[in-house]
Amino acid sequence: MVRTFWRAITEVSDLGVVAEHCPHCERLMCCLLRSLCRGNHVFFLRLAEPTRETSCLCTGCLRTFPAKPAWHYAAVVPINEAHEMGLENLLAKTNPVLADRIHLKEQIRDLGGDGRFAAAYEQLEQMRPGALRAELLRKLLDWHRLEEPERSELGRRIAALTRAWQLARQVASGFPASAGCLPFVVAALLAGLALLFVPAAYGWLWAAIAAVSCLVAAAAAHHLLLTRSVCRWTREVLIPQAQDTEVSLDYVIAVIDDVPGSRLGLKEELWPVKDQLHTICRILNAEGKLPLTPAADAF
């Protein structure tokens, strides 16, 4: 009888196709990227926030393996479009990190196994695809043309930005993405009172104006509360953790600013942080934690 009212539900959604290295057949293959959502329901009501994960289905050996984070892929190609693309084109479009890795393994051999080059690339690989990473990669590819001081400086910058990227993702989990629903609950109550107590002589037009005014006030209150939460998070979480890990805050701002916009419904934990980046920078400047020249300008 219990099973009738409570059950675990697993929902599988096909997101598209990517090029990935299959750990089972050890080949570069077209893989179907899937999203799995697991949760418990009682009378069709969700008990808690469901857990979400992604997996890949290799089209060669038909076996699944855990997928990398969604931000790792530059794009996800629809299944019907992937049929018309060659594997090399699919690799370049969906998984440029893997394409770079294959190319750079050849270059490492050509460079005689330079350990600093290999270490810089391994660190750079941990960052998500973006303009900042692409610029660093372009400079890394010119390693054989760089003088010794330039190689040392490039390696230092890549290491610093990689650590900043890791810190940004770590602190983003506690970022106040919403101020809650209290302002809108209050607005709904005020709007209801407006509809009840506005004299009939004024008609529905004035009642509608009053209701809209309540919603506008609720939006303003929500923005104010969210801004205060972001300021508190910046002072109490971001600044202390950056100091404890000795990560430069201007590098943290640079990697957050490099995050692209939302796409394909894939979740990115840094999108809410980037949306409030102006407020964060304002607080950091007020606290004297940012230099006059942003780190991104150095690239």
Sign of CA dihedral 46, 51, 52, 58: negative
pLDDT, tens digit (0-9, with 9 covering 90-100), for 52-79? 678 899 998 999 888 877 667 888 888 8
Distances (CA, A) of 140 to 3, 45, 89: 58, 52, 23
> CB under 8 Å, gap of 24 or more: what pairs does 137-144 form?
137/100, 141/104, 141/107, 143/111, 143/114, 143/117, 144/111
Other C-beta atoms lying within 10 Å of the C-beta of residue 5: 10
In one-letter notation, the amino acid at residue 220 is A
Tokens read off for 16: 């598209």
Band the pLDDT of 100: cuts 50, 70, 90: confident
* 190 vs 19, residue with greater confidence: 19
Answer whether 55's CB lies under 8 Å from 66's CB: yes
Band the pLDDT of 189: cuts 50, 70, 90: low
Answer whether 159's CB lies under 8 Å from 125's CB: no
pLDDT beyond 70 at 180: no
pLDDT, tens digit (0-9, with 9 covering 90-100), for 222-279? 677 788 888 999 989 999 999 998 898 989 999 988 887 654 444 567 888 888 888 9
What mean pLDDT is reported for the chain?
Answer: 76
pLDDT beyond 70 at 192: no
